[in-house]
Amino acid sequence: MSTLVAPQLSRHLVDNPNLGAWLEECAEVSLVLAIAPAGFGKTTAMLCLHERLRAKGFATAWLQLSADDNHVERLCALLQTALPSNSHADDRRGEPAPNLMDARYTGSRLGQDMLDAVAAIQQPTAIFLDDFDHLREARAVDLMQRLIERLPPHCKLFITARNAPLLRLYKLKAQGRLLQIGMAELSFDFEQAELFLNQRHQLQLDAASVRRLLHATEGWPAGLQLAALALKGRGDKPGFIENFCEQTADIGRYLYEEVFWDQSEEIKNFLLRTSFVKQLGPGICNAVGQIANAATLLRQLEAQSLFVLRMGAAGTEFRYHPLFAEFLQRKLREDYPDWLADLHQRAADWFLQAGDPDAAIEHALSAGNHEQACAILVNHIWQALARGHISSCRHWLGQMPEPDLKRHPTLRVALCWIHIFSYQYSLAGQLAEQLKQEPSVQSMAEYRMLGPLSLVLMDRLAECELALKQYQDLTLSGLSEATFRSIHAYVDLCSHRFDAALESSDRGLTLFKRIGSVYGTTFSYGISTYTLLAQGRALEVVARLEPALAELSRISGRHSASSAYVGVYLAGALYELGEFERAESLAREYLDLSGELVFLDAIVITHRILSRALCRAGQYAEAAALIHAGIELGRSLGLARIVAPMRLEQQYQVLHQFDHGHPMAPERLSLLPAAWDFAADRMTPINDVEDQALAGLRLGLREGRAEQVLEACSVKRVKAKNLGRRRRQLKLGLLQAQALQRLGRESEALRLLSELLLSEAELGLRASYLEEGPQLIAMLEALRSGATPRLLAVLAHVLGPAHEQPPAQLDAEPTVPAALLASAAPVNRSECGLSPRELQILQCLSAGMPNKQIANSLQISEPTVKFHLRNVNHKLDARNRTHAVFIARERGWVS
């Protein structure tokens, strides 16, 4: 477990004599790297430097890493928390948005925020990262590399590790900004060892004895410390040293044993009996040791430096050093195996009394008291499942012998739920079949819910609906009732019964909150989100989810499972409203967490949002890599519900490149296979709009099948309207308008587009317009001429500030700079076949203007410039923009 509080320095810790010199060298460096095996005093040296720098006025941040921190999101969150409060860059207004791939490369927007916070530190600051070896993931290491590179001159980073980290430090070393501390620097020489043994520990050893100990330990500080502890109170010190030096092959074990056996019986018993307790407090230690003075003994152990460290800010609890705890546990197993069951049993009883059923179950299982573990679980497992502790429940039940489980059918029902939530439907089905022979569970609501629960998660909606009808009169309560309401809401949603879906999901939300199931509330929010989005009510989604995310973050943390799920739903709604920056920020923040927690819809939403952001930025390789990773994740899980939407997103990427002037082979434009079985008369919530049919219509427009697209859109649009799916209805209308324009029916196309803008304005669905490519953007801009004030206002909202024109020019066609117009030769448009806008763009190209400058000069968007350039290249049969300018000059169209 990681900690954000530096362990308290004890006067008994080994203080390296080189500290003074290291402190002086710290003034000239940015990174201090201490690499050595266990027991060389790396952490102690850093703690001493930590305290001395604090005394010199440095702000300090301490983070002791654990295996749980080998993840970019968690590491970022911990670093943000550990940084001194006055170093955070809280007000980011006015700063340029970070490069999207920089943020993704370090894990998320949270990573970018952390780097920005470090770069914004104003005061002298020292950041300490202990046990850096736990960071092995490539992105986590790369994040630290970037942190080092962005450290301000007045900040210093201190790293301890047992092995050299995979950091690129050559530049720092060449610049003299790296201080490396290794075994040689941490090991004691003769003078330091003599000072440590004879002055610090008052052993009064002669020079020969000091040398023998130094040779045996090779200057290992922990070895010298343990030898010193073992020598205290001994009369025959030379004899002990002689024997000690003959045991160098197993020096660690020898020293542990010597220290251990030198203690009083009371201390030895206490050490052994508490060795398996992860968090040592007076209460639990008194219980397992059957004593009443644990608080006194813990203080005594700390005073003797017997490898115990205080935990937490309050400092009232302790933990053993892992190596020492390992030795003690091994000793307990070898010498007193009969003690183990009783000790774990006492711990189980104490934790049960203390109101910690999770720990009680763990110790009951370790004690072999499966009956007690089962009894606790029968009363606790449904609360644990409601809180989302699925992996813990699976672990507990997995340790139960089959006969014990069979005596408790309730737990077997819970195991079915666990299999279902883990997508192990076949295992759930096999177990449910066995439970048909258990009379005691037939009337159990949780058992009755197994059928509908598994069917709805497998998207077998017709069967699920039939199963639900059998339970209309069933008396339900608690988790079973909340789950029943949620299942009903999902089926209603997929069946276009939106009012009923909202009513059931809101009822489920209330019930989940009543039983304290934060985990369950997220699913209710998801159902209501999809229901509202299908009706185009994204604004209402945001109004619901913003306060919900704030509340969940307060209760369970910003990066809890529940916060992640609601945060992703919020990102999806913000995207639909065209609030792309906020949507992308949330998607980056929860991208990795969604995958780790296997939140199916959240995986699709985050990948879709970030993929389209990368496409807008022209970063197609990165977008392709992101979606490929999503596909591989879906394949590894065996879930077509992830793979199919990712396949559709691949095609969207190909069409986006095609629309923006990237030549594509014909076969690349064909529809990618995206098989996902779903009933034709049902709605797929995650693909309410982005489904195979819509992808086919988009493709048909590019392949010249506008007549077929127009006919299909007309039919599908009527159906969507009748079902109340306004978002899909709008999207089909936009495709219909594009088909009309491609058929040369421009006035009809613009009239339909104008009607859509005015009739759907209150929905605010900007993304529906902006993600359909340059052709639709150009059509929207064409509507400005002669538009009513209301339509102009709607266009301004949809197109955004980058597309707005000054009020005085609303009715005038934008022009290039006057100097360029003056130099342009008169052109007969009927001869050249180019529109006035295309000729203007060619004139700008001839003057050497890049796309962004052309867009600013003509007061249009960059995507629109690219759209016109693609048309110019097609009309002139030009290979690229340079070739197009060459042809235009040859024909006298541009100067």
CA distance 551 to 532: 21
| Beta strands in 590-652, from DSSP E residues, in sequence order | none
| Cα-based angle 371, 372, 378 (whole degrees, multiple of 5) | 90
Mean pLDDT of 525-554: 91
CATH of the domain at 178: 3.40.50.300
Residue labelled with tokens 């670093």: 79
Residue recorded with tokens 């304005």: 761
Name 884's Cβ contacts closer than 8 Å, sequence gap at least 6. Answer: 842, 845, 869, 872, 873, 876, 878
Lowest model confidence (mean pLDDT) among 596-600, 714-718, 803-807: 803-807
Q: What is the DSSP letter of 280?
A: B
Q: Say whether both 241 and 348 belong to one domain.
A: no
Q: Residue 199 carries which DSSP code?
A: I
DSSP output for 731-747: HHHHHHHHHHHHTT-HH
Tokens of 271: 């050490």
Strands 178-181 and 31-35: parallel
Q: In this structure, what token pair is assigned to residue 16?
A: 């390296």
At 607, the pLDDT band (50, 70, 90 cuts) reads very high
Cα 157 from chain centroid? 25
Tokens standing for 227? Answer: 């030898």
Q: Looking at the predicted structure, is the pLDDT value of residue 732 above 50?
A: yes
**568 CA to centre of own chain:** 11
Residue 252 pLDDT greater than 60, yes or no = no
Same domain, 68 and 181: yes
Both structure tokens of 445: 């609501």
Last residue of one domain, picked from the residues 791, 809, 827: 809
How sure is the predictor about 829, in pLDDT bands with cuts at 50, 70 and 90? very low
Same domain, 112 and 159: yes
Give the mean model confidence (pLDDT) for residues 297-325: 70
The better pLDDT of the pair 358, 517 is held by 358
Using CA atoms, how far apart are residues 860 and 802, in angstroms rounded to an integer?
8
pLDDT at position 638: 80
Of 750, 781, 809, at which residue does a domain stop?
Answer: 809
Tell me, yes or no, whether 460 lies in a domain.
Answer: no
Share of the chain above pLDDT 70, in %: 82
Q: Are residues 116 and 26 in the same domain?
A: yes
Q: Is 256 helix (H, G, I), strand (E, B) or coil?
A: helix
342 within domain boundaries: yes
| Domain harbouring 320, CATH code | 1.10.10
Alpha helices in 70-137 (DSSP H): 72-82, 100-105, 109-119
Structure tokens at 259: 């220290």
Same domain, 32 and 171: yes
d(CA 276, CA 279) in angstroms, rounded, equals: 9
827-833's contacts with Cβ under 8 Å and 24+ in sequence apart are: 827/892, 827/893, 832/891, 832/893, 833/875
The predicted structure's pLDDT at residue 256: 63
Q: Are residues 313 and 365 in the same domain?
A: yes
Which stretch of 94-108, 153-167, 659-673 has the lowest confidence by average pLDDT? 94-108
Would the pLDDT of 543 be above 90? yes
DSSP 3-state percent helix, strand, coil across the chain (nearest 5)? 65, 5, 30
Residue 782 CB burial class (10 angstroms; 0-12, 13-18, ≥19): middle
pLDDT at 586: 92
Q: Is 178 helix (H, G, I), strand (E, B) or coil?
A: strand
Q: Tell me what pLDDT residue 16 has.
A: 65
What is residue 1's three-state secondary structure? coil
Contacting residues for 24 by C-beta, under 8 A, at least 6 apart: none
Q: Which of 161-170, 396-405, 471-480, 599-608 has the lowest mean pLDDT?
A: 471-480
- CB within 8 A of 850, min separation 6: which ones? none
Q: Confirm whether 853 is domain-assigned.
A: yes
Closest by CA position to 835, among listed 868, 862, 864: 868
Q: What is the pLDDT of residues 741-760, one digit of tens each?
A: 999 999 999 999 999 999 88
Confidence band for 19, pLDDT divided at 50, 70 and 90? low
What CATH number did the domain enclosing 585 receive? 1.25.40.10
Structure tokens at 109: 């927007």
Q: How many residues does the chain have?
A: 895
Q: Which of 12-21, 145-154, 273-282, 655-664 has the lowest mean pLDDT?
A: 12-21
Instruction: Report which of residues 597 and 90 the model is more confident about.
Output: 597
pLDDT band at 96 (very low <50, low <70, confident <90, very high): very low
> What is the rounded CA–CA span in Å between residue 499 and residue 488?
12
Q: What is the CA radius of gyration of the chain?
A: 34
- Pairing between strand 317-320 and 308-311? antiparallel
Question: Which of 311-325, 409-423, 675-689 is predicted with the least confidence, judged by mean pLDDT?
Answer: 311-325
Scanning the structure block, which residue is given the tokens 């774990």?
344
What lies within 8 Å, CB to CB, of 718 at 6+ separation is: none
Q: Dig out the tokens for 696 from the structure.
A: 């086919």
Three state DSSP letters for 273-332: HCCCCCCECHHHHHHHHCCCCHHHHHHHHHHCCCCEEEECCCCCEEEECHHHHHHHHHHH
What pLDDT sits at residue 663? 66
Number of structural domains found in the chain: 6
Q: What is the CA 12 to chain-centroid distance, rounded?
A: 41
Average pLDDT for 335-359:
93
The answer on 273 and 351 residing in a single domain is yes
Using pLDDT thresholds of 50, 70 and 90, give the confidence band for residue 386.
confident
- pLDDT greater than 50 at residue 211: yes
Positive or negative, the CA dihedral 65, 120, 155, 112 is: positive
Q: Examine the pLDDT at 338 and tell me if it is beyond 80.
A: yes
Contact predicate 289/269, CB 8 Å: yes
Task: Give the mean model confidence (pLDDT) for residues 481-494.
Answer: 89
**Which of 493-507, 681-695, 710-724 bottoms out in mean pLDDT, i.e. has the lowest?**
681-695
The per-residue pLDDT for 306 is: 63
135-149, 213-227, 750-764 — which one is most confidently predicted on average?
A: 750-764
Task: Report the alpha-carbon distance of residue 647 to residue 2 in Å, rounded.
Answer: 39
The answer to whether residue 547 sits within a structural domain is yes
CA angle (858, 864, 867) in 5-degree steps? 125
Token pair of 48 as six digits: 């001493």
Residue 606: pLDDT band with limits 50, 70, 90? very high
Q: How confident is the model at residue 431 (pLDDT cuts 50, 70, 90)?
A: confident
* 541: pLDDT strictly greater than 70: yes
Mean pLDDT of the region 755-769: 90
Q: Does position 333 have pLDDT exceeding 60, yes or no?
A: yes
Average pLDDT over residues 539-565: 86
Task: Find the DSSP H helices in 150-218.
Answer: 170-174, 183-186, 190-194, 207-217
Per-residue pLDDT averaged across 617-638, rounded? 88
Q: Looking at per-residue confidence, does 587 or 868 come out higher?
A: 587
Q: Is 657 inside any structural domain?
A: yes
Q: What is the dihedral of CA 497, 502, 503, 508, to 10 degrees?
A: 120
Integer distance in angstroms from the first to the last C-alpha of the chain?
70
User: What is the pLDDT of the chain when averaged over all its residues?
Assistant: 80
Based on the domain organization, do 574 and 670 belong to the same domain? yes
User: Which pLDDT score is estimated for 248?
Assistant: 41
Q: Quick count: other Cβ atoms within 10 Å of Cβ 14?
A: 21
Task: Identify the weakest region by mean pLDDT among 22-31, 475-484, 762-771.
Answer: 22-31
| Spatial distance between the Cα atoms of 880 and 342, rounded to a whole number of angstroms | 81
Residue-wise pLDDT for 261-288, tens only, equals 778 889 999 999 999 998 898 999 999 9
Q: Among 722, 733, 808, 811, which residue's Cα sits nearest to residue 765?
A: 733
Cα(312)–Cα(316) distance, integer angstroms: 8
pLDDT, position 500: 93
- Using DSSP, state whether 41 is helix, strand or coil: coil
Instruction: Give the pLDDT score at 870.
Output: 67
Which of 194-203, 255-264, 644-653 shows the highest mean pLDDT?
644-653
14 — pLDDT class (breaks 50, 70, 90): low
Distance between CA atoms of 69 and 81, rounded to whole angstroms?
13
Taking alpha carbons only, the member of 253, 223, 222 closest to residue 241 is 223
Q: Are residues 231 and 88 in the same domain?
A: no
- Cα 738 to Cα 745: distance, rounded to the nearest angstrom: 10
pLDDT band at 833 (very low <50, low <70, confident <90, very high): low
pLDDT at 107: 45
Same domain, 563 and 623: yes
Cα-based angle 189, 192, 194 (whole degrees, multiple of 5):
105
How many Cβ atoms from other residues are within 10 Å of residue 97's Cβ? 12
Highest average pLDDT, of 196-210, 476-490, 492-506, comes from 492-506
Contact present, 782 and 791 (Cβ < 8 Å): no
pLDDT for residue 639 is more than 60: yes
Q: How many CB atoms lie within 10 A of CB 427?
A: 15
- What's the pLDDT score for residue 461? 82
| Residue 878 resides in a domain | yes
Range of the domain at 246: 190-261
Q: Does residue 12 lie within any of the structural domains?
A: no
**CATH number where 844 lies:** 1.10.10.10
- Which of 780, 809, 838 represents a domain boundary (last residue)? 809
What is the H or E stretch that residue 39 is in? none
d(CA 447, CA 455): 14
Eight-state DSSP code of residue 9? P
Q: Phi first, then psi: what are they for 255, rounded to 5°?
A: -65, -40
Ramachandran area for residue 406 (φ above 0: left; ψ -120 to 50: alpha; else beta): alpha
Residue 320 maps to a domain: yes
Taking Cα atoms as reference points, which of 633, 504, 526, 513 lies closest to residue 571? 526
Residue 49 and residue 158 in one domain: yes
The band of 832, judged by pLDDT with boundaries at 50, 70 and 90, is low
Instruction: Give pLDDT, residue 665.
Output: 54
- The Cα–Cα gap between 89 and 268 comes to 51
Query: Same domain for 110 and 196?
Result: no
Stated pTM of the model: 0.59
C-alpha 43/C-alpha 62 separation (Å) is 11
**pLDDT number for residue 507:** 92
C-alpha–C-alpha distance, residues 600 and 597, integer Å: 9
* Element of type H or E holding 34: strand 31-35
Highest mean pLDDT among 108-112, 195-199, 650-654: 650-654
Report the pLDDT value the prediction gives residue 323, as an integer from 0 to 100.
Answer: 54
pLDDT of residue 241: 79
**Distance between CA atoms of residues 809 and 800, nearest Å:** 16
- Structure-block tokens of residue 579: 């609030």
Contact 217, 227 (CB under 8 A): yes
Range among 74-78, 109-113, 143-147, 248-252 with highest mean pLDDT value: 143-147
